[in-house]
A and B are shown apart, each in its own frame.
Chain A
Amino acid sequence: MSQNLTPSALDDAWGGGDWGMVAIDFDGNVCAANPGFEKCTDISQSVVLGMSEADFNRALTSARVVERRRVDSGDSSLRAIYYFRLEDYSVSESYTPGKTLVAESLREPLTSIYGFAELLFARNYDELTRRNLLTLMLGQVELMSKLIKEQLEIDKWEMAARAEQI
């Protein structure tokens, strides 16, 4: 699977995540890195692609990283995935309770999308299982879309109510 994996494919799957991520292929070289990695380490993706795992670890010694973990992929085509945390999770003071609630509601479907995407990326499943997992992910995307739409409607009503008060 790693042979077919391009950095852009990885960006699609993990571009919006909170973690920087780098994949090590079976030969022990960096085969992909997501935008979060660049953001968290200030090291360009193009610099690390193709690097051996040892060189990659050496390159990271000067990087500013909050947390780093290496996870064996458990699959024969991919050796490991590195995770880099960008920053501690915290809710900004500018968040209203309503928005925090929406953010927390969005995290539920996001969890299954993120989880299934990672499993599809790291493990080999048969075609039927892959399709079933993708169907579940699409359902969760639709749920997220609905939640966002509802929040935008609420915002619209609130703005209209405020305008009427003024």
Chain B
Amino acid sequence: MKKILIVDDQPIIRHMLKFALREKFALEEACDADQAYEMILASPPDAIVLDVMMPGSMDGYQLCERIKRDPALSGIYVVLVTACGQVTDQELGRTLGANAYFIKPFSPLMLEQHLYDALLANALAEEAEAKRERKDSE
């Protein structure tokens, strides 16, 4: 089962996301970006559902940037979720390397499907790459 880290300062949003995602994924949660970063370093998840506006020394954008700049972590699939719906916010998310951007309120079923499809595609790509490497070395 793929592991997903849910990062949001609102307990009720984390609760809702856990309800939506628990059937298909193994879940972990963090209430701010600092806690999330520690958890990521200790055991990197396959994907992160990351709120943008959070209290603490880092917001969601900063955590996303830190993950995507680190070669060891950049493969983690990052979905930003935010109440900021302006086009400029989405562009910033894309610039920082976020893989997807969901604007609150969003459909949890659609998020579940999106993560499932994205992680499946990642797994298939990794498998194809491994096969190619094996072939090259033979």
Q: Do B104 and A71 touch (CB < 8 A)?
A: no
A60 → chain B closest CB, angstroms: 18
Given the interface pairs A90-B85, A111-B13, A119-B20, the reply to whether A71 lies near B103 with Cβ below 8 Å is no
Q: Mark B71-108, 1 if CB is under 8 A from A, else 0.
A: 00000000000011111000000000000000111111
Q: Nearest Cβ distance between residue B84 and chain A, in whole angstroms?
A: 6
Given contacts A83-B110, A118-B107, contact A90 B86 (CB under 8 A): yes
Flag if A111 contacts B113 (CB, 8 Å).
Answer: no
How does the 8 Å CB contact mask read for A46-58 relative to B, with 1 for contact and 0 for none?
A: 0000000000000
A111 touching B109 by the CB < 8 A rule? no
Q: Which chain B residues border A91 with CB–CB below 8 Å?
A: 85-86
Given A105-B83, A119-B19, are A74 and B104 also a contact pair (CB < 8 Å)?
Answer: no
Is the beta-carbon distance between B87 and A71 smaller than 8 angstroms?
no
Q: Which residues of B contact A113 (CB under 8 A)?
A: 105
Indicate which residue in A74, A89, A110, A140 contacts B109 across the interface (CB closer than 8 Å): A74
Q: How many residues of A contact B (CB 8 A)?
A: 33
Is the beta-carbon distance between B87 and A88 smaller than 8 angstroms? Answer: yes
> What residue in chain B is nearest A16 (Cβ atoms)?
B105
Q: In the complex, which of the residues B10, B13, B85, B108 contacts A89, with contact meaning CB atoms closer than 8 Å?
A: B85
Measured between alpha carbons, how far is A83 from B112 in the docked complex, in Å?
14
Question: Chain A: interface secondary structure?
Answer: helix
Identify which of B53, B83, B106, B113 gathers the most chain A CB atoms within 10 Å of its CB. Answer: B83
Decide if A73 is an interface residue (CB 8 Å cutoff).
Answer: yes
Q: Are A69 and B110 closer than 8 Å at their CB atoms?
A: yes
Taking each of A90, A104, A108, which has the highest tally of chain B beta carbons within 10 Å of its own beta carbon?
A: A108
A-side contacts of B107, CB under 8 Å: 19, 71, 83, 114-115, 118
Contacts of B87 in A (CB 8 A): 88, 90
Flag whether B12 is at the interface (Cβ < 8 A).
yes
Q: Which residues of A have CB within 8 Å of B109?
A: 71, 73-74, 81, 118-119, 122
Query: What are 7 sample pairs from A and B whose C-beta atoms fall under 8 A apart?
Result: A69-B110, A90-B85, A107-B83, A107-B85, A108-B104, A115-B19, A140-B12
3 shortest interchain CB distances as A-B pairs: A89-B85, A107-B83, A114-B105
Knowing that A91-B85, A115-B17, A119-B109 touch, tell me 6 more A-B residue pairs with CB under 8 angstroms: A19-B107, A105-B83, A110-B104, A111-B16, A118-B107, A119-B19
